[in-house]
């Protein structure tokens, strides 16, 4: 029961932040930049937290709150998919491809950067 409450708290915070960020960041270069931004931020946080838990003792409650709750609500694959499909449906195939590339490559890069930050902060050499 406690885990569900933590997920809910993290989810609430992540969903509110996603709403705020998506509302203040305009469409850039014909792609939905708010969705890209939250996906990149969420991936960075996810990479940092998950790799940090391998290095130091972080309570499982914090891991659940941040990863499953906060990052789960902050990032949004369904919105990304819908927005990409809408671009394709409107005939903007290059913009749709660009959106997919930036989200996938960018999020993978953010996971990597999160891992590197974690290793650097906790003085682990790779």
- 1 close to 58: Cβ distance less than 8 angstroms: no
Binding-site annotation, residues for Na(+): 72, 75
Per the annotation, binding residues are 72, 75
Residue 90, pLDDT > 80, answer yes
In this predicted structure, the answer to whether residue 26 has a pLDDT above a threshold of 90 is no
Helix H, strand E, coil C: the string for 49-113 is HHHHHHHCCCCHHHHHHHHHHHHHHHCCHHHHHHHHHHHHHCCCHHHHHHHHHHHHHHHHHHHHH
- pTM of the predicted structure, to 2 decimals: 0.85
pLDDT score of 45: 96
What share of the chain has pLDDT > 70, as a percent? 99
pLDDT the model gives residue 115: 95
């Amino acid at each position: 029961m406690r885990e569900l409450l933590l997920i809910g708290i993290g989810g609430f915070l992540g969903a509110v932040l996603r709403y705020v960020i998506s509302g203040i960041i305009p469409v850039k270069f014909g792609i939905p930049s708010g969705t890209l931004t939250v996906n990149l931020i969420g991936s960075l946080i996810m990479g940092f937290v998950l790799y940090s838990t391998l290095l130091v003792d972080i309570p499982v409650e914090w891991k659940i709150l941040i990863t499953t709750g906060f990052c789960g609500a902050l990032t949004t694959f369904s919105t990304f998919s819908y927005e990409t499909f809408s671009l394709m449906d409107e005939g903007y195939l290059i913009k749709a491809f660009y959106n997919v590339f930036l989200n996938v490559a960018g999020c993978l890069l953010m996971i990597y950067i999160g891992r590197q930050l974690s290793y650097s902060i906790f003085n682990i050499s790779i």
